[in-house]
Amino acid sequence: MDTITIKDIARALNLSTSTVSRALRDSYEINAETKRQVVEYAERLHYRPNPIAVSLKENRSRVIGVIVPQIANLFFSQVINGIEAVAYNRGYHVSIFQSHESYERELATVQQVVARKADGLLISLSSNTVDVSYLRQLQEKKLPIVLFDRASKDLDVPSVTADNFAGAFAATEHLIQMGRRRIAHVAIPASISIAQERLAGYRFALEKYGIPYDENLVRHAGFGPNEVEPIVNDLLIQSPDAFFAASDRLAIGCLATLKKWNIAIPGQIALIGFTNITVADLLDPPMTTVEQPALEIGQVAAGRLIDLIEGKQKTVSSDPVKIATRLVIRASTQAGL
Amino acid sequence: MDTITIKDIARALNLSTSTVSRALRDSYEINAETKRQVVEYAERLHYRPNPIAVSLKENRSRVIGVIVPQIANLFFSQVINGIEAVAYNRGYHVSIFQSHESYERELATVQQVVARKADGLLISLSSNTVDVSYLRQLQEKKLPIVLFDRASKDLDVPSVTADNFAGAFAATEHLIQMGRRRIAHVAIPASISIAQERLAGYRFALEKYGIPYDENLVRHAGFGPNEVEPIVNDLLIQSPDAFFAASDRLAIGCLATLKKWNIAIPGQIALIGFTNITVADLLDPPMTTVEQPALEIGQVAAGRLIDLIEGKQKTVSSDPVKIATRLVIRASTQAGL
DNA sequence: ACAACGTCCGGGAACGTTCCCGGTAACGAT
DNA sequence: ATCGTTACCGGGAACGTTCCCGGACGTTGT
């Protein structure tokens, strides 16, 4: 009754659907005058090709699916902005989904996205995803996939991440240079690839400066709402003189807990976050952070994916791309005591 | 070569596609034994119905489209979480899109979503959208639509928003009760519906306490990255003793600018934000805020939309739903001077 | 004059479903 | 024996496209 189809045009102009279809796609074998008529009529009735029918026919959709653990996270939302910018420019639509850190939701969402014939997949793994075999299967079925931020060592898929090792190294080195020696590390769940990279950077810095690694100073925190506070409390028993938090959320949680105890920052304890929070310098005290180039990660990841989709990538070199981080020094890591 | 279809099952089991289709949907007119065979075989080969084909046939998709101006905004991302929670429970998939505060992108995105046969639309208007006729047309074509947060008075569509008037009133009243009299209001673009509601609440509070309304104390700020600072600077000329910022972003901008000028908060100037920022009490100083129930807004909006989709809403009463806000008092509005 | 070619167009299958319309048995009731 | 049911199942159209195949007509070359 309302959406106008190619058939309607054909009927109205006394043509066949084939002719109309070809006229609309500007085929060489259609008379110029006929094309004009068709295009004009289509224009006038606001004809829009039905993408569902096209997808069914062509087995593709010009849509790329993006799956992140959480959208309410500035890092991911900025990555998405980067993705959209390049995807849009190159003629792709972007559909965004959340896994909510759940393997089941991630799996279901990916299946759905694939069933809807997305041309490619951009995904950051949920923290509860250990079994990535479903992604391997998709990969074997030639579905273009690019991982970002949270990659997986079990998967030979192109990935784009921040240089977490270097970032964590820089953070830890900075703390050491500011005279800290007992540096606690509040890490994200060990299942996530970047947790290990950041931990490694942390350890490497300690090693370089001859500080023994003390595993009592390292704790992993999950994504529960009140998980950070008890962990910080535990760590405080070890009398650290600095906290290195491995994410936005954790840094904020550390800050809140330390304040609760009336611990002077950086007087007694220095604090550094691994984050993208824009309000870092409005906090009390302004917080030193390792900034991840979220936007750029998104842009690069989307670019690689689309290259893959369009077959520009002859060599499917799945060498991971690492984007440099940036240490922004603020008050929370000044020399203390 | 890989995705298995109903035809494959039919061929393998020597049945017709009709029978297989019916068996899979558990039709009463299929023999129990046949059903068993079909279901088992389908299970074994991991058969998944092709949602594209189903959409084409049924003219629906069990997908609801969500369009927000910006995802990198805690308010919207929390609303989305609310939406997803109920949508998921009721058997709908959610596709998320951003308009980036652009009318053209919004229009294009909505068209795309509609063309893909979304069953309904949940949308928060971009600040540059003045012409909502395209939405009216969709509404006339019986597409279920629910607006949230940013509604439009030109549109007779169900909407779910925070109670912006009451929230702004409470904020302003609080400032007045703390002894402030020259209360500056940094508002969001006047084109957005909630800007007017918040302004009205602000004015009503002034009126109630016999404070004359001074239009020099009210300025609207757009979404540019550096738009807030000059506006705050301008307002400072009017020597205000309080700032009421109408959004997250603006409140943060005010705070940053005031700090730049070394203005004591709340000593010289009090500050209150209209926001959802979780770090409000970690800021320097902890910021008093009017909190919007973002999650609930999302839940209610999704609920209404799905009711609409499933025709449970006999009366299409488009009376707007208003969800109460909550005033959280922190240090930034203590009595000054 | 006739083949050969170019130009322009239509018929119809196919993508994977659903569903309407039928049809065939078997069986009890008349 | 005939009829009406009931229980099952298949054929095929339809959703909106694209594209292969083929055909009609006119023009050109020999």
pLDDT digits (tens, 9 = 90+) for B256-302: 999 999 999 999 999 999 988 888 888 989 999 999 999 999 999 99
Q: Which of B279, B281, B330, B332 to mutate to probe the A interface, most A CBs <10 Å?
A: B279
Structural domain boundaries enclosing B14: 6-49
Per-residue confidence (pLDDT) for residue A199, from 0 to 100:
96
Instruction: Name the one residue in this structure whose structure tokens are 């824009």.
Output: A278
For the stretch A91-115, pLDDT in tens is 999 999 999 999 999 999 999 999 9
For residue A17, tell me if it sits in a domain: yes
Per-residue confidence (pLDDT) for residue B29, from 0 to 100:
87
CATH number at residue A153: 3.40.50.2300
Coil, helix or strand for B176? helix
| B50 CB inside 7 Å of strand C | yes
Q: Which two tokens stand for residue B204?
A: 């009503």
For residue B270, tell me if it sits in a domain: yes
Q: What's the mean pLDDT in A248-272?
A: 94
Contact indicator for A146, A303 with CB cutoff of 8 Å: no
Per-residue confidence (pLDDT) for residue A311, from 0 to 100:
84
For the stretch B85-118, pLDDT in tens is 999 999 999 999 999 999 999 999 999 999 999 9
Give yes or no for residue B337 having a pLDDT over 70: no
A60 near B CB under 8 A: no
Do residues A70 and A84 both lie within one domain? yes
Do residues A178 and A240 both lie within one domain? yes
For residue B55, tell me if it sits in a domain: no
Residue-by-residue DSSP string for B29-76: TS-HHHHHHHHHHHHHTT----HHHHHHHHS--SEEEEEES-SSSHHH
CB atoms within 10 A of CB B262: 7
Do residues B155 and B270 both lie within one domain? no
Average pLDDT score, chain B: 93
Give yes or no for residue B315 having a pLDDT over 60: no
For the stretch A44-54, pLDDT in tens is 999 999 999 99
For residue B1, tell me if it sits in a domain: no
Give yes or no for residue A315 having a pLDDT over 60: no
Q: What's the mean pLDDT in A54-77?
A: 95
Across the interface, do B97 and A98 touch by the CB < 8 Å criterion? Answer: no
Structurally, chain B folds into a number of domains equal to 3
Q: How far apart are CA B321 and CA B162, in angstroms?
A: 8
Give yes or no for residue A282 having a pLDDT over 90: no
What band does A337 get if pLDDT is binned at 50, 70 and 90? low
Q: How far apart are CA A65 and CA A44, in angstroms?
A: 33
| B49 CB inside 7 Å of strand C | yes
For residue A216, tell me if it sits in a domain: yes
For residue A54, tell me if it sits in a domain: no
Choose among A107, A86, A81: nearest CA to A96: A81
CATH number at residue B44: 1.10.260.40
Helix (H) or strand (E) holding B231: helix B228-237
Q: What's the mean pLDDT in A235-256?
A: 94
In chain A, which residue ranges form alpha helices assigned H by DSSP?
6-13, 17-24, 32-44, 51-58, 74-89, 103-115, 133-140, 164-177, 193-208, 228-236, 248-260, 294-309
For residue A180, tell me if it sits in a domain: yes
For the stretch A186-243, pLDDT in tens is 999 999 999 999 999 999 999 999 999 999 999 999 988 889 999 999 999 999 999 9
Neighbouring-strand partners of residue A123: A67, A147
Do residues A151 and A198 both lie within one domain? no
Per-residue confidence (pLDDT) for residue A194, from 0 to 100:
93
Coil, helix or strand for B273? strand
Do residues A173 and A286 both lie within one domain? yes
Coil, helix or strand for A237? coil
Percent of chain A with pLDDT over 70: 97
Percent of chain B with pLDDT over 90: 87
Give yes or no for residue A165 having a pLDDT over 80: yes
| Side chain identity, residue A274 | F
What band does A316 get if pLDDT is binned at 50, 70 and 90? low
Choose among B248, B327, B24: nearest CA to A277: B248
Residues in chain A within 8 Å Cβ distance of B280: none
Nearest-by-CA chain A residue for B137: A2
Residues in chain B within 8 Å Cβ distance of A282: 252, 255-256, 259, 283-284
Do residues A279 and A170 both lie within one domain? yes
Choose among B205, B188, B214: nearest CA to B275: B188
Q: How far apart are CA B49 and CA B306, in angstroms?
A: 23
For residue A126, tell me if it sits in a domain: yes
Neighbouring-strand partners of residue A120: A64
Do residues A198 and A250 both lie within one domain? yes
Q: Return left, alpha or beta for A187; rule: phi > 0 is left, psi -120 to 50 is alpha, else beta.
A: beta
Do residues A184 and A213 both lie within one domain? yes
Nearest-by-CA chain B residue for A2: B141
Give yes or no for residue B226 having a pLDDT over 50: yes
Do residues B238 and B96 both lie within one domain? no
Do residues B175 and B100 both lie within one domain? no
Q: Which two tokens stand for residue A204?
A: 């490497």
| A27 CB inside 7 Å of strand C | no
Contact indicator for B55, B117 with CB cutoff of 8 Å: yes
Per-residue confidence (pLDDT) for residue B279, from 0 to 100:
86
Helix (H) or strand (E) holding B94: strand B93-98
In the DSSP assignment, the letter for residue A305 is H
Do residues B43 and B25 both lie within one domain? yes
Give yes or no for residue B52 having a pLDDT over 50: yes
Contact indicator for A328, A286 with CB cutoff of 8 Å: no
Percent of chain A with pLDDT over 90: 87
- C-alpha distances (whole Å) from B327 to each of A55, A100, B55, B70, B267 are 49, 29, 45, 25, 21
Per-residue confidence (pLDDT) for residue B1, from 0 to 100:
46
Residues in chain A within 8 Å Cβ distance of B256: 281-282
| A6 CB inside 7 Å of strand D | yes
Per-residue confidence (pLDDT) for residue B313, from 0 to 100:
63
Do residues B191 and B169 both lie within one domain? yes
